[in-house]
Chain A
Amino acid sequence: MLPEAKIFAQYLDAKVDDEALLIKYTKAIEKLKLSLSEKEASVLRYLIKMPFLLPFADGAWAFLNPKNGIRKRIMVMSAFIETEPQFVQLFLNEKDVSFSVFKMLFRGSVAVLRGIIGVFLILVLGWK
């Protein structure tokens, strides 16, 4: 499960320099019994090899299948990253951000675009 934890952490911009977070994630998945269907497990194996597809697939699932097992696991990683002091700046603004509305709209547009591309991707690859 460590490779999966690593790609999720990297995907969420957490530069992991020790394995504590990854181990914590691994234990949590077992404890929470967040199992994957056979299809989801095979998609995950593919994503571990091709992690650059993750934002697209995740964006598409967010639209089409928010209860997807892989997305649930990303949520767990996101919650752990959020509760690590070293990553807090990924979640809280320490200063006022200039042009914040434009930045937010830009970020939202990028996310939507990735989602749209992702929808085509998962339909073509049969990952829905």
Chain B
Amino acid sequence: MNRHRSLYISIAVVVIGSIYILRLFQIQVLDDSYKNTAERISLRKQTIYPQRGLIFDRENKLVVFNEPVYDLMVSVPIRLGGIDTNSFCGVLDIDRPEFDTRLAKAKKSSYRGKAVFMKNVSNRLYARMQERLYEFKGLFFEIRRDRNYKYNSSAHVLGYLGEVSKNELGTQEDDYYEQGDYVGKKGIERYYEDELRGVKGEKYFYVDIHGVNKGSYKEGKLDIEAIDGHNLGLSIDIDLQQYGESLLNNKMGSVVAIEPKTGEVLALISSPFYNPANFNIQNRGSYYNRAIQDPTKPIFNRAVSAPYPPGSTFKPIMALIGLEDGAITPATHFGCPGYFRLGRRTIKCHPHPFSTSLERSIASSCNTYYCNTFKNMMQSDKYANTEEAYISWRSYLESFGLGNKLGVDISSEFRGWLKEPSFYDQMHGKGRWSYANIISLSFGQGELGLTPIQIANLAACIANRGYYYTPHVVRQIENVDAIPEEFRTKHFTKVSAKNFDAVIAGMLAVTQNGTGAGVAIKGINIGGKTGTVQNPHGKNHSAYMAFAPVEDPKIAIAVVVEEAGYGATWAAPIAHLMIEHYLQADSVTESSKMYLETRLKEANLIPLKYRSQRDTSLYGN
């Protein structure tokens, strides 16, 4: 009987062994879920961030480069137990409660996957931590690239990066961004985001229970190399830009300089400005709030966003429209008694000889001349009524790039103010308004708002005698044959080339014996037009528009200095110095020029009401 029992025991051994082998067959061969689970647990994908494209200036000087930022990450927050908390806190220079808060936060954001423990760790801390990282299993650094800058300059052109927002994440089409990624928020960083960002890479590897890398997956066959972003070449001349910034220091205003033949922006300044390095990822946190509280609005890009009435700088355009439309001829004279009578009221002019030609009207900035021109046009037989005439006038202006966004390659451009006729219908009643109601438009006041870049573009149109290219600040994109089509297309104005001669002659006269003659530059023929813009909120804005040299224009420029006074006092000399600097950079040796330069650089034209609240540290460091 007992021998049978031996057999039974043997059978039991074989049966149990077979059950186990079958069970193993089931979980190892038939069931795939364990394989997937194993990979989910121990396989990690790491994103390799590409180098963002570098940015160079017109002369190929490096302007913007990348600087690594280190985020201290914890691989698996719930498994961060095996470290010596005391020495870890010691290295990081935090106390225990802070450690606990940070870990709790990491756990909350991701239970099993990686989470941020400390963002933007300083270089010093990174170096110290890196040395001892082997002691702290499950912690690692994720390296991202922040921007840094060779020059404390051009902040408004360059813009800045920021973490991608929920909204941006939700609306993206190509699923490029993940939470925490950096994306261009302003300036060309935003406009050229697709060119600058490059292509992310991927790396697959196994991790252990603490999240420590245990070797690559399939010998790296699935890994993807990151491709760096395209470098950009600016049309900005960083030297001219910095020079202009020094002239605009302690002023509110803007300078835009354009190369008329190409539409390339040579300088684009909005003042007050800030140090772009203060607005990179690492620093913006501490500067941003101070910047928005500053009443001089240093973040606001006046050059493309601030609408100013052009004032008298508008007169050359009025002349061009009058000539083209037949309201005047180059020989037209209007008498100016010092005012323009409009029923019971008068529009004041300023002292100049009684009879005014077209040329002299520009040179001496005669209001009466343009009131008459505008009146002629608005009352012309060509048009059935004032509204029709106004629509025609408006369409001339649109052909000069006014009333709409120019389409520059910097974010937050404003289209300015150029009212539809319906605006006046609403104000005065349909058909119940005439030239008298809108007469101030003729000398650049009233319901008219031009951004500095639009004014500069007007100067470029005149310099080109009737066309412009959309102004742009990037002239080269690495590995791309050409800049976007829209910057290579000529836009013609509705004013024919022949009508420009008289106006240009007038603008030349401005700097020779007109309102801008006092700050003329020897050896350069500049066509200019001063403007003193009435400002209901304070002192007049000082404005100026110019191009040079008249015979072969290489630079067109607009300058606005807020609440500064006469155009000829501030805006004109700034424009002239910049023209000279750009055209013959080393000729400012004359003592009178030196004096002028010093006077401009040192003048503080910030209105008194703002001075105490200004935060000058934004420009520092």
Do these two chains really belong together in a complex? no
Give B contacts to A, CB under 8 Å.
Answer: none
Give A contacts to B, CB under 8 Å.
Answer: none
